[in-house]
Amino acid sequence: MTLSLPGSLVSTEWLAAHLDDPDLVILDGSFKLPGVTPIAAEDFAVRHIPGARFFDIDAIADHETPLPHMLPSAATFERHAAELGISNESMVVVYDTPGLMSAGRVWWTLRTFGHDKVAILNGGLKKWLAEGRTVTNEITAPASTHFRATFYPSAVRSKAQVLVNLESHREQVIDARSTGRFTGEEKEVRPGLRSGHIPGSLSLPFTALTDPRSGELLPVEEIHKAFEAAGLDFSKPVIASCGSGVTAAALAFGLHLAGKDDVAIYDGAWTEWGQPGSTPVETGAGKEPGGK
């Protein structure tokens, strides 16, 4: 194997220069909220980066739970990874359509199952198209490979663990949803959920990490400042949350770029926490930056 990734974030120029490398696997990890059409898989069928395979976040999941796209078992992930042509030696580049909505979820999933040879395409398909680069509707089935997963439970938090954290305050919770959803001023996109946020959590919409024009990640210094402005203490561990565990991974990726990897994702996220029941919910602006 001669190919190596230049880092956790790769440019469109780098990807274009390595499209035909046999050691490279390109994954389209695009995702859309429920009810939005055409769905991401249909978009992929119309156009995608040449050689890309579609990583279906809803399909590569635990189907024994009513919660959406929860992490699958290691055995299930091994099967899906092999079907996508991913081996333990593969260099993987993930992208999504807007730039950083769901690519982070695929990046985090691969790392949670022990594959750290993975990077995100800076600017995603949005930047690729803006530069006039080639796309295709041709779908080629990859040759099946073998993938051995090593699950890292430290990357994931359950509802029970988040409830314990409400008392211990050992980890900071930061929420990737829009400000309106965090404060409770906007209704949740999934019916039946309460509005608001996990008590004591911080708010940083995942869109704050990218340039809205190009979809590219902001410079690392600006990402660091965005988290600090949201009240995050870089010396303490973090739980990232969101609506259903997808955009929380965008925050995890941003923190990774800023040099912070003691970050876990609450996989059930608001889809689990916000259900009618006894989990405590706060509304309003939440914890003040720098506050206790």
Active site residues: 242
Token pair belonging to 32: 């859309």
Torsion of CA 203, 206, 207, 211, to 10 degrees: 120
- Euclidean distance between the first and final Cα of the chain, in Å? 50
Residue 185 DSSP code: S
Q: How far is residue 48 CA from its own chain's centroid?
A: 19
Count of C-beta atoms within a 10 Å radius of residue 10: 19
Percent composition of the chain: helix, strand, coil (DSSP 3-state, to 5): 30, 15, 55
Residue 122 DSSP code: T
Instruction: From residue 227, give the alpha-carbon distance in Å to each of 22, 205, 243, 257, 284.
Output: 38, 10, 19, 12, 19
Residue with tokens 């039946």: 192
Q: How far apart are CA 245 and CA 4, in angstroms?
A: 29
- Coil, helix or strand at residue 132: coil
Residue with tokens 């990357």: 155
